[in-house]
Structure formats: C-alpha cells, structure tokens
Structure 1
C-alpha cells in the first residue's frame, strides 16, 4: 500500500506543479504597425528575459501563476511596460505596442559599431545629417562639402572646390564611405572622395569623429558614411521630379546653369526598388566682385551625372537581399585658364578666356556596385549581414608644369571586397549584451599615372584581411560599456619603377628620375577601442572613450618622391592614432546640449609639406587636441534652431624627444589644422505645411601660428587665416502635397573673402576668393 501511495505521489505531484505554471506568448509591434524585431523583453521579478524574433514574437514557459509586468526595450523603441496575468496550466497571449523614438537623443545609427544602435548608447561623438536637412540644403548647393561644413562640428571649412584637400576631421584625414563601401584612396589620397555621389540619392549622412578602430585603414580621423535612398512607402509606384536653375546674383552673365533630377521608387509585397537619374550643368562661378573664379579644381562650367539603382527582395521575414549600383561623374569643360595671383601683395588668382591644356578635370567616373544579404541565422538570435562590392574611380587632375614637358595626372583605383558581420544579442534580468563580430577582406589596386601614359606613382596592389569583434554591455538600461578589437593584416605589392623627373616651377631646377626597386610592404596591427557611457538622466549623460585608428600613410606620395633606390629604404611605416574623448549630453525640456573634448596622438605622423617645389612627407610624432560645443533648441513647434562651436589645435614633435615645446617643434600646418568655426541655423515654418524658411550661418575665425619667411611672405600651408562670415538661406513654398517651389541663396550678403584653403595655402596659383552671392530656384513635383 505504501509503495502504491509513493508511486502515486511521484506521478501526480509533478502534474500539480506543472498545473501551477503557465506560458506567456506575445507579439511586439511598433506604433507604425511594424514588427519590433530584436527587442528585449523582461519578466520582472522572475529573472527571465528574452529577445523578440524577426516577426516581433517571444515566449516565456513555466512561469509561476500570478500577476507580472513585462518590460520591453530596444534600439529605437521607447521603454514600455505591460501587466500580464498568468494562470496555471494555461497560455496567456499578449499583443504589445511600443513607440518608435524619433528624437535626436535616440536617433538610430549604424556607423559607430556596424550594427543598429541609438546615439544615446554610443560612448562617442556622432553627427547625423538627416533627410530633411539634406533636402533643404540641396536647394542651396549640391556640393556635399558645403552642406557638411555647417552641420558637422569638428569638420574643417569647405574648400568650395571639387577637391576636399584640407577639409579634415579633427585635424586628421577621414574615411569616406557609401553604404559602408570605402570611397577614399588612402594609398594615394587624391582628396576628391567627398563628392562621391549626388546628394539627391542620399537618405542620411553619419559622421563618426575621432580614430575608429572597427573600420580599419583610412579612418584615422573618423569617417563620413553616406546612406543611399530606400523606399519608405507601401505604394508600388512613386515619382519625385526636381527641375532647377542656378546663377550668380552679382554678375549673371554666362552664370546660368540647370539641374534635373528624377527618381522612381516603391515597394510591394517582397519587392522594393529605387531608380534615380541626376544631371546638373553649372555656368560660370563668380566671386563677390563678379569676376569669374579660376578653373583649377573649380565647380563652375561643370557637367555632373549620377545614375542610381537599388533593388531589394525579401525571400522571407528572416532573409532578404539587396543590390545597388551608383555611377557619378563630374567634369569641367571651361573656356578659361588660370591667371596666377600674388599672395604676398594680396592679388587674387583670377581667370581669363583661353583654351585649357589637356583633358577636362574632375571625376571621370566613380562606380559602386554591391550585393548584400541579411537576415537571421536561426542560432541564438544571431543576425547576419554579408556583402560583396566593387568600387572604381578615375579622377583627372589639372595640367601642371611641374612635370618635365607638362602633364596631367590621374588617380586610378579599383576595390573589390567581401564582408561578413554577425550580431548576437543576449539578455538577462538587468543587463543586455551585444556581440558584433566578423571579417573584412579587401583588395585595392591604386596608381597615379599621367594621362599620356607616363607613370608617376606605380601600381600599388594591396590586400587587407581584418577580423574584428565588438562587445556592448548595457546595465539597467543606463550604463553602457563598449569595447572591441580589430586585427589588421595588410600586404602591398609594388613592382620596380622609376620616378618621374620633375621641375621646380619657381626655380626651374629639374630633379632627375631614379630607378627604384619594388617589393612587398607588410603590416600587422592590433587596434582596440573602449568606451563608457552613463545615461544618468536626460539632464546629464556623460561618456568617455578610447579608440585607435590604423592608416597606411599616403604610400603613393612617398613613392613618387623617393630619393633612394629601394622601397625597403623608405619610411612607409603605418600610422597608429590613439584618440581619447570625453563629453556629455544634456536634454532640458526642448534644449539638447553636447560638449566634447578630445586628444589625438600618434607616435609616427604622416604630415605632407611643400619643399623646393615638391610634396614630401614628414614622419614625426603628432599631438592634436580640441573641443566642440553644440546646442539644438525646439523654440516653438514650428521653430527650431541650432548652434555649434569647434576648436582644434595640433603640434609636431620634430626632434622626437617626447616634448612638443622645443625650439624645433612647431604647430601643424593649415591643411591639417583648421581655424575655429561657429555654425548655426534657424528653421522656421512660418505657415506650417505651406511656407518654410531656413537660414544658416557659418563663421570661420582666424588662425595665425607661423612667422613670415626670409622673403617677407609665408611658407606654403603655413599662412594665417583671416575670419569671414557666410549666410545661406532656403525659402520653400508648398502649393499642395505634391508640388513645391524652393529658392536658395548662397552667400546671401555677398561676403568678399578668400577661402580658408587659399589663405593657409599661400600659393600664387590658388589664392582664390570664395563664391559670391548666387541663387538656386527649384521646382519639386511628387506623385
């Protein structure tokens, strides 16, 4: 009898216990009726936590009967709680709605860590230029350098040219990307990468400041990532047409230009697409005096084309593929030649009618082709992004007498690459863990020949393989700890070559050619990053970070000016940058304020200087420091304003003694360190939905760090910069929901100034004034 009773207890008691527990099954949707994928769901009081799948579903099993609170959080979602009652032996189904966050503090970005995250979870300074801002600025200018100048603290003043040489980020070179694909040519930096595409096909721009370990070669000063347009509509067919006219308000003669942009986009079911074509022709660019600006690197009399296509297909809710292609070309066909100015006497460089030598300068062609697969692996909630890409660029420069017999150089670069990025989120009670890891493989073949076939910089064949891992831990949804490493393996093959003979354009002295033995340059480097952010409250959210950047210095510049017979004898050591940053953000009602301070060091720099008519590279330790302040205010529902201030300074340890205060030590020159900058904007919807006015201000302040030379002038790159102030405006009127007319005015008060680049450069052939007052009238029609 006792045995029967014992058997009965062993059989019945587990059933009773099971009957006292239940199951919670739920679905999380956003307020826009989309599945809230990868959201964290916690069952308070039970130390149970999970993550929603791609369809927003989750489940908790064997939950003791009772009343509980579910807590839902995630990237871009407002923290939400929902009460749920669990009955023994039953399954409770719940549907939960979370609000997608749209505020600047929680804007979703991907560039900082190669996976989706919100700015308030990033222990670093990041600037985002959104779609609305881009569209407003496109009614003023189509030059990305001008747009970013006003909206990105820490970015040097725009050159106003096709070349962005000198438009550094926090005193260092930066990596330009389109949808994560590198556009820059670090092997031979031609500084024409900022204009890699037309802004009309850009959805948003993310700027990560300071050395960035997770992206590898070229990101010593940070990165700018252009994200191309994606359809955000449930309709199969949408059309957006823009027709515009441009010209000078000072001297309209021959300054008229035109622009046509057409985009079709839509999605239906599993298919989405974007097709776009842009053509722009500019007339003569005039300065504030009404004189034609010189053609070297100029954007006047330029024909620009941009063709873009993106096609996406969703195999299932868990797997999709996307293919994209972008072609950009911008070349100058001019009837003018440059007339050298005189920096010492203040005479500006000008233009006169004449036939330019050689072929038109500019971007002959920039091709980007990529295919990306993304989705869920089905293991531990891990998501994957895998892509392959091809990028090629052909940049044509201007005719130069520095080549014996004269000549025009071009940079040819082709990149092929493959990337795999995996992201595994984990969650437990009061903390979330997120692991991002993967592998980058890239081949980059770059050279700089002359158009006539002579070789100035030999072909450099680089193969780069880099595994990486990035970890982010979030405690109590407030304390964020982030750390990661990346291991760089780089091999650069160079065949035997001969340098080109060059002629000093001032003295006429010819430097003869030299035969140089090639070889393979090999690099291995482990770079790391770590950061901490504490979201104590909206009022105070401090952060501190350390990050290293790896950059193969401008190898091509070193090779073309070699004075030894073997590349093994040339100092081509890579630059490792250590970037330290601290700051905080505060949000008080409708005001957001951010303050950031930083230090950037490198034991071996790569500072190019102009010496005896040629560019040479100085390899010495560098120390850069600065700070940035920015505030945004929602004054009224229809009135928004912002202001920022940037300051950067840097010095060179010429004698390598660890002290930057020696007699031989000096400040870094103008093409590296920009003068202080103030930028501001006011965006006012005078008649909401009808009439909108945007006014932007950019103030470039003075910088004077160098003494005059023995000739009573300044050495190249070491001249002072005098302050100037620029105002732009955009006035838009919506006739109805589909038709609008915009008037943009650039340099509206016709400031008569020399650009910062022309001032610190101190070259007679590029002592150029900035663009005078000009207009852009645009009609937009949406269907």
Structure 2
C-alpha cells in the first residue's frame, strides 16, 4: 500500500513536468442579480477542473487552457445556474442570475466520500445549504432544532443540551465535522449533535439509512457538518454579525445576545478563514412566561466557537489544508430544579438558588485536521488524505443519592486520533473506482467529576479498508456498489463497578471486581444502489446498504452484573437497510418519495427495568420501516413553497420467533412529523418566510395502574409550531434580520418530555421568542 502511494506521488510530479502547453484564453466579467453584485459565485469551465469565484464586487477573472470553443457555467446557492458557450477570442462575459428556491439541483454531497451531484446518489439525502442555514439562524442557533425542522426522518429536538432520543429513522446517527467523527459508540452520551456553531458551516449533508461508507456508528445514517472554505480572491474580506434575543412571553431575565466575526481571504497560493462566535442565552420561558426546567436547558448558557482554516494550493491540482475548531457550551444557571409531574401535567421549572455540581454541557470540543488533495496522478487518479484529532469533555447533571456515598456527577471523556486515505481512479469514461482505508483510535471513559470510575477507560482501535465503484451506463443509468471490512479491538483493564443505590440508600446493584480483557469484532459490509435519470418526471432509485455499530459498550460495562467482561453481551449491531424511492421534476416543481425497511438481528433498545430502576439495552431482533415525502414548488419567481412528511415505525421480535409484535419505544421511534414553509420576496432585497413544524400523535403503549407508562413509552400528543423570519438588504453589504420562534405562542410539551416522563426532564417547550440581527459583509 505504501509502495503504491509512492508510485502515485512520483507519477503526479512527473506529470507536472511533462504537461503539454496549449493556447491560453483569459476571460473576465461580473456576476450580478437584481439586488446587485454576487459574491462567492462559482465560474467553472465545463469539461475541465478550471474554476474561480467572484469577489465582493461580483468580479472574476479566469485563465483557460482551451485553443477553441468552450462553455462556462455560473452557479451560486440560492440562484439559478447559467451556462453559455464562447469562442477563444472572447475576453469578457457578464452574468445576471435569477434568485431560485431552496430546492436542490446540482448540489454537491458527501454520500460517497467524494464530491458528486445529488442526482447521482441512489438513496435519500438531505442537504442543508448555506442559504437554508442562514434562514434558520435568523430564528435560532440551536442546531438540533435546525436539523429537526429541515430533515425528514429525524426525530424532534428536545430543546436542550442533550439530543437523547433524536434518532434518524429510528436508529443512531453518526455525527461528523468535515468527516471527523464526533460520536462515540463506546459510550453514547447523546450530546454529539451540538458539536459546532452553525455560523461556520458551508452546508450540512444528511445521509439517511445504514451506511458502510463511513463505518462504525452509522447504523441510522450520518450527519456531516461541512465547514466554510475561503472563496474570495481578495487579501481580506469579512463578515460581522450581531444579534439580540429574548422571550416575548416574559422579557424579564430572558434577553441575550450573539456576536460573530469572520475574516477570510486569499494571498497568492494561500487562503485563510478565521472566525469567532460568542453567544449568551437569557432565561428560557414557556408560553405562560414561566421558567423552563433547568435540566440541560439551553437557557442561561454561554457558548463559544473558534474556527481557523488555512489552505495552500501549490498548483491547481493540489490543495493542503489545516482546520481547527473549538466549541464550548455550558449552562450557568441561577436556579435550582423543581421537578415536574407527568400525571398532573405540572411542568418542571426552577427556583432561585445555586446549581449543584459543575456546569452541564460541552466543556470543550476540539477538532484538528490536516488534509491533502491531489488530482491527475497516474491514470487520472486523485488522492484525498486526512489526519485528525478530536477531544471532548461532556458534563452531565448531578444524580442525587444514586451512588454509594451520596450524589454523583459524571462526564464522558473521549479522544480520537485518525487517519484515512482514498484514491479515486477512472476505469473507463463510464466507470470509476474509489478505494482506501480508515484508521481510528478512540479512547473513551465516563468517570465521575470527583475522580470515581463509573465507566472504565475503553481503548478502541479500528481498521477498515473499503472500495466502491460507480458506473454510468446509457448516459442515464447509474450503478453503485461497495464493500467495507471492519476490524475492531477494544481493550479494557480490570475495574470495579460502583455500588448503585436508590433514594433510601438501599443497594440496587452491588460493587464488585470485573476482569478486563479484549473485545474483538469483525464484519464485512456491502452496499449497492441503482438510479435511472432518463425521464425528469420519474427518476427512480433503489439501494441496499449495511451499517455496523459497537453498541454502547460503556453502558454494559458500568451496569455489569458478572465478574468478567467476556460474559457481558456486547455483540455489535449489524443493520440491513433497504430503500426504494423516486424523484419527479417538472419545471419549477420537485417531488421525492422514499420508502425504507431497516432490520437487525440484535437491537439497541433502551428498556426500563423496574426491579433495578435502571435502563438496560435489549438485544432482541428489530424491524423499522417508514416513508418520507418532500415537495417543492415555485409558482412564480418571488414565491417558494415546501412540504414534507415523514413516518417511521419499529417493532421488536421479543420471542425470537420471527413475529415482530412489540413496538419500540419513543426513545427510538419518533412520532410522525409534518413540515412546510413559504418564502415570499415582495421587493428587491426583502424576503419573508413562515415555517411550520408539526409533531403528530403517537400512542402505542398501555398505562400502568399508577396512570404512568413504562419508561420511554409515554404517549406523544400532537403540537404545532410556526416560525417567522424576515431579511432585508439595506445596502449591498448590510442585511437586517428578524426571527420569531413559536409565532403563535403555543403552550406544549416537546415530544421527549412526553415519552420520557422523568420528573426532572418534564419541561415545556419555549414560548414566543425574538431574534433581531444585523450582518455586515466587507
């Protein structure tokens, strides 16, 4: 493998020396819309890798190695792309782009670990573009809410620092930043969605269904946060944003603010982007103006994000890039928790008092990545390599009286070091082959903050070679297939479990010594897909993919009831995902319908055990199924309409007889979700939007004699939320925004409060809140 790498690199430099010189044409101009010059528009030469971007004045200049005719395509998110043909003698070209909708066209995604058109992906993908992120940021910076509002199949947000129960199609989802895993299957604290501030993101790619492309942990799919890349040709450009936030239900104590500064530019072959964001949230109030329960609340939080990206392109075929991001978000509350009551529908709230323990939330998430991309190696092969480091510390709430000796507060510590490489080689004009390997070392533990060990340190080393091929036949038929081989080893030293007690001090689980050792897993995963794009009115696709996850080993270790880890059921989950769908396009209309079935011989259901007062993992076979539908229509150029609906259901075969009768609980299966939006641009520079998000009823379980339900099985009653946002471009560089969350001040309990039912987390949703902002580009 190392020898082939050296040969490839040697061939690349030889090809630079032996390049044939052709005639060169220079062409320049401006790209504008009705609102003025467009910044960051892409101008590319069709059939070649040559491309450039417009500067802050909408200007561009491009040198083209073409002796005859050529064609250019100009594109920018939020605008309709244009393509025109030119002769070698033409030196100027100006463009006027029309504003388009939020619908997806030639969007580039990371579904196959290499950039490609969305129309080439034979499965369901949701891409949140920069325009979509900006629309949502005008209302809220909570990325869990943004994703829940925009992604069909993703469970509703709990509006807290924790994303417990926010599954994707009923299974766990792998969270990544530029391909760096933020999730750890070793001890899933379910806080990984909030790993970065959305202000530094270019887009978010959501790949649904089990995927073998990125490996361990993606049994339900993956969410990849793609960070900003500098595009200006000027030495320095920037963006400053300031926001004022607060509650309209009760202004007292609720005001907060946000400030962000971005600087970016290009100096010769070097480019850079540097960003800093600080946000302070005031108290969160419900529709009646009362304080929202303080457990993991996003009220009274302080968040910081520092981002740096440095790039160096020695020539147009290579790029070296260094990225670093730091994110911290912790709650500093002036209140102590007052529990709620599910039976009386009394919500959790708070009273003035000092918080016990350390502030909850993310006590630092570091991501460092060095990458190198090279095109046109031997035979036209390209190479992408990445080395990365990720470290995070997530602090949880204080458990009163749960541990021997009294209270305890835990935090998960995780450090990941990884390296990956991928070659992409053309086989013929119709086919290509991608191949490479992932290497990752993940060291995770969950101690108490006072030093007591609850979950011992788990040292995982994962090696996974992979290959995938793609073919385009008869111009419109796309075939994909791939294989990935997982090799996992987890080492655990001898440890002693903590004695767990109930509120009366009685022992629930005793403390005893457990012999450590090595846990090993091997699995070979496959994926195959087909898509046919001949007819715009009906573009069908079908796929089969497998996912692999080492399911929460830490949870099994901390609740161990045997004296040797070899006796603990830690077998990995292998998921088979079947998907069938189609896309229909007709002028300004786009409709997509997708159906899916997901099966696994082993489950990962969190089931409440009344005898021990603990949640344990059920390993029974599971079957999850559902469908998603989205539609977009632009009746006129100034109006965009969007609709979405998703339904997911899941059952377990508790008797292992092939009869799936037992419904999976709310922690895994979300209630049906409906969404819609309308955007209207009545004047040049002014845009008004209304978004609807509805969570429908899910009632699958019987009540206990007490009137409660078993853990995680509470009934979810329907609620309906509307958000409003407006943006007005005062000048070419200055934008004003106004966002109203929960426009009609709906009084409701979020879905997680309803199915979870735990008194300390039985909180209401946020009432009407405002967000006023100004953004200046320069």
Q: TM-score scaled to structure 2, two decimals? A: 0.89
The 8 Å contact of residues 26 and 93 in structure 1, kept in 2 or not, is answered as no
Aligned to 1:276: 275
Give per-residue Cα distances to partners, 1:647-684, cap 9 Å, x unaligned. Answer: 000001111111114xxxx1000010000000111111
Give per-residue Cα distances to partners, 1:587-641, cap 9 Å, x unaligned. Answer: 0111100000000000111112222321211101000000001001112212112
Counterparts of residues 726-741 of structure 1 (less than 5 Å): 726-741=721-736
Counterparts of residues 14-163 of structure 1 (less than 5 Å): 33-36=43-46, 104=103, 106-163=105-162
Aligned to 2:11: none
* Residues 1:651 and 1:602: Cα distance change in structure 2 (over 3 Å): same
Structure 1 residue runs of 5 or longer lacking an equivalent are: 1-22, 41-53, 61-68, 85-91
Structure 1 position 724 matched with structure 2 position 719: yes
The 8 Å contact of residues 732 and 742 in structure 1, kept in 2 or not, is answered as yes
Counterparts of residues 517-596 of structure 1 (less than 5 Å): 517-596=515-594
Counterparts of residues 209-248 of structure 1 (less than 5 Å): 209-248=208-247
The 8 Å contact of residues 339 and 759 in structure 2, kept in 1 or not, is answered as yes
Aligned to 1:407: 408
Provide the aligned C-alpha RMSD in A: 2.9
**Alpha-carbon distance in structure 1 between the residues aligned to 2:188 and 2:384:** 29
Aligned to 2:382: 383
Give per-residue Cα distances to partners, 1:449-489, cap 9 Å, x unaligned. Answer: 00000011000000000010010000132000000000000
The 8 Å contact of residues 109 and 206 in structure 1, kept in 2 or not, is answered as no
* Residues 1:613 and 1:676: Cα distance change in structure 2 (over 3 Å): same
Deviates more, 1:341-350 or 1:23-32: 23-32
* Residues 1:686 and 1:72: Cα distance change in structure 2 (over 3 Å): closer
Structure 1 position 778 matched with structure 2 position 773: yes
Q: 1:763 is matched with which residue: 741, 745, 758?
A: 758
Structure 1 position 682 matched with structure 2 position 666: no
* Residues 1:444 and 1:758: Cα distance change in structure 2 (over 3 Å): same
Residue 732 of structure 1, CA deviation: 1.4
**Alpha-carbon distance in structure 2 between the residues aligned to 1:25 and 1:364:** 56
Aligned residue-pair number: 725
Deviates more, 1:508-517 or 1:372-381: 508-517
Structure 2 residue runs of 5 or longer lacking an equivalent are: 1-19, 32-41, 51-61
**Alpha-carbon distance in structure 1 between the residues aligned to 2:70 and 2:297:** 60
* Residues 1:544 and 1:78: Cα distance change in structure 2 (over 3 Å): farther
Aligned to 2:258: 259
Counterparts of residues 694-705 of structure 1 (less than 5 Å): 694-705=689-700
Structure 1 position 667 matched with structure 2 position 663: yes
Aligned to 2:35: none
**Alpha-carbon distance in structure 1 between the residues aligned to 2:561 and 2:263:** 55
**Alpha-carbon distance in structure 2 between the residues aligned to 1:107 and 1:514:** 58
Residue 59 of structure 1, CA deviation: 11
The 8 Å contact of residues 39 and 56 in structure 1, kept in 2 or not, is answered as no
Q: TM-score scaled to structure 1, two decimals? A: 0.88
Secondary structure (helix, strand or coil) at the match of 1:380 reads: helix
The 8 Å contact of residues 259 and 281 in structure 1, kept in 2 or not, is answered as yes
Secondary structure (helix, strand or coil) at the match of 2:688 reads: strand
Deviates more, 1:304-313 or 1:102-111: 102-111
Structure 1 position 603 matched with structure 2 position 601: yes
Secondary structure (helix, strand or coil) at the match of 2:635 reads: strand
**Alpha-carbon distance in structure 2 between the residues aligned to 1:458 and 1:359:** 21
Aligned to 1:652: 652
The 8 Å contact of residues 326 and 367 in structure 2, kept in 1 or not, is answered as yes
Residue 505 of structure 1, CA deviation: 4.0
Counterparts of residues 156-555 of structure 1 (less than 5 Å): 156-376=155-375, 378-401=377-400, 402-404=402-404, 405-428=406-429, 432-505=430-503, 508-555=506-553
Give per-residue Cα distances to partners, 1:229-261, cap 9 Å, x unaligned. Answer: 112222111111111111110111111111110
The 8 Å contact of residues 39 and 72 in structure 1, kept in 2 or not, is answered as no
Secondary structure (helix, strand or coil) at the match of 2:591 reads: strand
Residue 344 of structure 1, CA deviation: 1.8
**Alpha-carbon distance in structure 1 between the residues aligned to 2:560 and 2:481:** 40
**Alpha-carbon distance in structure 1 between the residues aligned to 2:497 and 2:463:** 30
**Alpha-carbon distance in structure 2 between the residues aligned to 1:599 and 1:315:** 47
Residue 345 of structure 1, CA deviation: 2.2
Residue 356 of structure 1, CA deviation: 1.4
**Alpha-carbon distance in structure 1 between the residues aligned to 2:503 and 2:703:** 21
Deviates more, 1:560-569 or 1:760-769: 760-769
* Residues 1:33 and 1:725: Cα distance change in structure 2 (over 3 Å): closer
**Alpha-carbon distance in structure 1 between the residues aligned to 2:428 and 2:503:** 66
Give per-residue Cα distances to partners, 1:382-433, cap 9 Å, x unaligned. Answer: 11111100000000011112223111100000000001011112434xxx10
Residue 38 of structure 1, CA deviation: 5.7
The 8 Å contact of residues 36 and 56 in structure 1, kept in 2 or not, is answered as no
**Alpha-carbon distance in structure 1 between the residues aligned to 2:284 and 2:83:** 55
Residue 509 of structure 1, CA deviation: 4.4
Give per-residue Cα distances to partners, 1:119-141, cap 9 Å, x unaligned. Answer: 11110000001001111211100
Deviates more, 1:594-603 or 1:286-295: 286-295
Residue 55 of structure 1, CA deviation: 9.3
Secondary structure (helix, strand or coil) at the match of 1:427 reads: coil
The 8 Å contact of residues 715 and 762 in structure 1, kept in 2 or not, is answered as no
**Alpha-carbon distance in structure 1 between the residues aligned to 2:472 and 2:448:** 54
The 8 Å contact of residues 37 and 56 in structure 1, kept in 2 or not, is answered as no
Secondary structure (helix, strand or coil) at the match of 1:253 reads: coil
Secondary structure (helix, strand or coil) at the match of 1:217 reads: coil
* Residues 1:300 and 1:28: Cα distance change in structure 2 (over 3 Å): farther
Residue 514 of structure 1, CA deviation: 2.0
**Alpha-carbon distance in structure 1 between the residues aligned to 2:446 and 2:26:** 53
**Alpha-carbon distance in structure 2 between the residues aligned to 1:745 and 1:508:** 49
The 8 Å contact of residues 464 and 485 in structure 2, kept in 1 or not, is answered as yes
The 8 Å contact of residues 293 and 764 in structure 2, kept in 1 or not, is answered as no
The 8 Å contact of residues 25 and 93 in structure 1, kept in 2 or not, is answered as no
**Alpha-carbon distance in structure 2 between the residues aligned to 1:738 and 1:83:** 32
* Residues 1:704 and 1:27: Cα distance change in structure 2 (over 3 Å): farther
Aligned to 2:710: 715
* Residues 1:511 and 1:83: Cα distance change in structure 2 (over 3 Å): closer
The 8 Å contact of residues 436 and 470 in structure 1, kept in 2 or not, is answered as yes
Secondary structure (helix, strand or coil) at the match of 1:736 reads: coil
The 8 Å contact of residues 25 and 94 in structure 1, kept in 2 or not, is answered as no
Residue 81 of structure 1, CA deviation: 11
**Alpha-carbon distance in structure 2 between the residues aligned to 1:205 and 1:80:** 26
**Alpha-carbon distance in structure 2 between the residues aligned to 1:177 and 1:186:** 13
The 8 Å contact of residues 25 and 89 in structure 2, kept in 1 or not, is answered as no
**Alpha-carbon distance in structure 1 between the residues aligned to 2:174 and 2:24:** 41
Give per-residue Cα distances to partners, 1:152-211, cap 9 Å, x unaligned. Answer: 111111111110111110000000000111011211011111110111101100100000
The 8 Å contact of residues 35 and 55 in structure 1, kept in 2 or not, is answered as no
Residue 268 of structure 1, CA deviation: 3.3
Aligned to 1:64: none
